[in-house]
């Protein structure tokens, strides 16, 4: 992926030097499961527990996942992460520029989100954010959050390396911001739990639409010659590696579609490709789709 090296974004808040907020790794896992229960009920807890087990958030794993972050004063570590900081900063602004143009064409005003870089844990309007959660978007403060250590897990534990795989993650979270601006997030979260849950529930549809929106941005990268050979395959690999069925099978050896919250690997790959190939947000209507 071709980016502007040395890129700095005014939309990025860097909290990495502040270190983790709150307790240790076990508490982080419990906090995550509680937040998932509040948002998704029991199915969310099941999938969250599977992810934590696989990623090391319920014992073992890296220091970042367990809530014990490296020394915040270690300047060499911050320097080592600088290429990733430049990448996510560039992608974050580029994705938002794409959506700003899309909103403008439809006569709407786009409200920019912000990106927060943190280590271990950090306060958010949605509660205490944990590295074990992976990247996430908080509609309450309109910010996306990421502990950059997630990208090492994406590469080593989930088998999805590459800069465009990393970019897909950022674009997906900004897809949630778009949904928040359009009211789709409220539509889902205010629906009865019975409508949100399951392989065809609203929660899965919301996540798959965010994947499709990430693909819409990806479509423009090829046209603007940002995309390089192999980049699309990196994004598709990432989408596949974080499907509910894949994570569940790796963590527990079984797959339970009734507990899905994000969609299967095949579904996530399909909807990203739909957005990427069309470049049209109108093709991302997962809510009315008969087949996901």
Q: How confident is the model over 130-143, as pLDDT tens digits?
A: 998 899 999 999 99
* Residue 260 per-residue DSSP state: -
* Residue 70 per-residue DSSP state: P
Could you say which residues of the chain have pLDDT below 70? 21-74
- The pLDDT value recorded for residue 5 is 87
- The pLDDT value recorded for residue 48 is 53
The ranges assigned to domains in the chain are 12-284
Write the pLDDT tens digit of every residue in 212-251.
Answer: 999 999 999 988 999 999 999 999 999 999 999 999 999 9
DSSP string, 173-221: HHHHHHHHHHTHHHHHHTS-HHHH-STTSHHHHHHHHHHHHHHHHHHHH
Tell the burial category of 60 from Cβ atoms under 10 Å away from its Cβ (0-12, 13-18, 19+).
exposed
Task: Kindly list the distances between the CA atom of residue 196 and the CA atoms of 186, 231, 267, in Å, as whole numbers in the listed order.
Answer: 12, 33, 17
- What share of the chain has pLDDT > 90, as a percent? 74
């Amino acid at each position: 992926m071709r980016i502007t090296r040395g890129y700095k974004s005014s939309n990025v808040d860097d909290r990495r030097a502040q270190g983790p907020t709150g307790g240790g790794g076990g508490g982080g896992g419990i906090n995550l499961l509680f937040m998932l229960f509040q948002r998704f009920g029991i199915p969310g807890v099941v999938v969250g527990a599977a992810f934590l087990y696989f990623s090391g958030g319920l014992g073992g794993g890296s220091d970042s996942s367990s809530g014990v972050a490296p020394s915040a004063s270690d300047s060499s570590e911050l320097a080592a992460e600088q290429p990733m900081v430049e990448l996510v900063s560039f992608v974050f602004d580029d994705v938002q520029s794409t959506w700003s143009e899309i909103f403008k064409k439809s006569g709407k005003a786009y409200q920019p989100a912000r990106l927060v870089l943190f280590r271990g844990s950090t306060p958010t309007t949605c509660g205490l954010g944990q590295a074990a959660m992976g990247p996430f978007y908080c509609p309450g403060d309109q910010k996306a959050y990421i502990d950059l250590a997630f990208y090492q897990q994406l590469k080593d534990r989930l088998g999805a390396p590459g800069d465009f795989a990393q970019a897909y993650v950022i674009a997906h979270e900004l897809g949630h911001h778009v949904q928040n601006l359009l009211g789709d997030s409220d539509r889902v979260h205010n629906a009865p739990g019975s409508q949100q849950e399951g392989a065809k529930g609203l929660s899965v549809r919301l996540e798959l639409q965010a994947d499709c929106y990430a693909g819409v941005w990806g479509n423009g990268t090829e046209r603007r010659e940002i995309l390089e050979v192999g980049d699309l395959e990196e994004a598709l690999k990432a989408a596949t590696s974080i499907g509910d069925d894949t994570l569940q099978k790796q963590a527990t050896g079984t797959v339970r579609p009734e507990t899905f919250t994000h969609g299967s690997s095949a579904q996530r790959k399909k909807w990203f490709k739909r957005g990427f190939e069309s470049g049209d947000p109108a093709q991302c209507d997962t809510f009315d789709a008969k087949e996901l």
